[in-house]
Amino acid sequence: MQFQQRRKKYVPDLREMQSLAERNYAAAIGLLPAQYEVGQTRQVSIHDSLTFELKVLTDAPYTTDIQVEQQQSRALLQTRFVMRLYHDMQLAEIISSQGLERFAASYEQPNPHMHQRDERRQINHFLADWLKLCFQRGRWHDVSIATHHSGLQFQVKR
């Protein structure tokens, strides 16, 4: 008779997840200008061949969504994610990554999307590592944004 050893279900450590989200918020807020608006774009250059573009997607009283997209890469898979800043709680987390959204705190194994048991934890650790890279090696600057008014297009330097 064969016995299958059942793996213990992964239970997320909520204190660790909240602490990580707090640290991510503190770092992420440092990448943004003091005043920003929807559509505003900022570039973070790590080196000549690795640049990320941050774009403010939404800005509500309690949350801001920032899209981060890798630029100038010949890589097969470019980094692309959306982080949400929760201003009232001072937390930040990834809400979308590589086209996938709404990450559960834990996943049964196996699962249809092949997520890891602790996928949400891992992507937020990735955010922490990415933010650390930006502050250690990055240079950032604001990018001109196009503004449309009465059918005319002009550039506004931020």
For the chain, the maximum distance between any two Cα atoms, rounded to a whole number of angstroms, is 78
Residue 149 pLDDT exceeds 70 = no
Residue 5 lies in a domain: no
**Per-residue pLDDT tens over the stretch 98-130:** 887 888 877 788 878 787 888 888 999 999 999
Rounded Cα distance, 62 and 66, in Å: 14
In this structure, is residue 3 part of a structural domain?
no
What pLDDT shows up at residue 111?
A: 77
Residues 38-57: what's their mean pLDDT? 92
Tell me how many domains the chain contains. 1
DSSP 99: T
In sequence order, what E strands does 22-119 have?
Answer: 41-47, 50-59, 63-71, 80-86, 91-97, 100-101
* Domain membership of residue 78 as a residue range: 14-156
Q: Is residue 4 part of a domain?
A: no
In a domain, 8, yes or no: no
Euclidean distance between CA atoms 58 and 73, whole angstroms = 26
In a domain, 25, yes or no: yes
pLDDT in tens, 53-70: 999 999 999 999 999 999
pTM of the model: 0.80
